[in-house]
Chains A and B, each alone.
Chain A
Amino acid sequence: DADVTQTPRNRITKTGKRIMLECSQTKGHDRMYWYRQDPGLGLRLIYYSFDVKDINKGEISDGYSVSRQAQAKFSLSLESAIPNQTALYFCATSDGPEWQPQHFGDGTRLSIL
């Protein structure tokens, strides 16, 4: 079983819809992250959380929101999806301290028509 599980793995939806991507982990890590990956742009950080009561904006948080429901769960929402949010989304976790590597889920491929 995967340590970092993302659902759904693929999603096609229409402009204006509300979308939620979910991430759960069994690694016991406190820190969780959401990234998006676009061809030619690399991985960019959307939001991150260091514990249940901590939420921080990343480089490209506009149009997104997150919820850290428990240590093991971190969800990403697109309140009103637009086509330029079509991308591959990754959830990641890490243990403190900061030099510990991040462990990525298998990704969610999101297409917004």
Chain B
Amino acid sequence: GQNIDQPTEMTATEGAIVQINCTYQTSGFNGLFWYQQHAGEAPTFLSYNVLDGLEEKGRFSSFLSRSKGYSYLLLKELQMKDSASYLCAEYSGAGSYQLTFGKGTKLSVIP
């Protein structure tokens, strides 16, 4: 499958801004998803990027650079409830139509 790299863990302070990076192999790329997963729960969809640039949704934004094989998720005004794992997932077409997930970044928000 495609190699997707994201940091294993991050810690940030309540009220601050945090950026979670994700890199992927560009061959066959068709789109990049971000999911949030609280411990012991199901992943939930946050964002989808297929074109270069920044997509903003409230406190969460996602950026994509197709040429660099790079995306990031930006979380603003952090809240304690944002403590969760954030999963980067690449959709590659080429007939397979599969999502390949990174291992996830566990974010801990501290007071």
Which residues from chain A sit less than 8 Å from chain B, CB to CB? 40-45, 48, 50, 58-59, 90, 98-99, 101-107
Contacts and interface: CB of A to CB of B under 8 A. Distances in A.
Contact of A45 (B45, B93, B98, B104): B98
Contacts of A105: 42
Counting contact residues on chain B (CB < 8 A from A), the size range is 20 to 34
B101 interface: yes
Contacts of A59: 1, 98, 100
Contact of A42 (B44, B50, B101): B101
Interface in B68-92: 87, 89, 91
Contacts of A40: 103
A43 B91 contact: no
A101 B43 CA distance: 11
11 contacts: A42-B102, A45-B100, A59-B1, A59-B100, A99-B31, A99-B48, A101-B45, A101-B48, A102-B45, A104-B42, A104-B44
The secondary-structure label for the interface of chain A is: loop
B45 A103 contact: yes
A40 to B, nearest CB: 6
B43 A42 contact: no
A59 B2 CA distance: 11
B45 A42 contact: no
Contacts of A101: 33, 45, 48
B30 interface: yes
A1 B104 CA distance: 28
A42 B103 contact: yes
B104 to A, nearest CB: 6
Contacts of B12: none
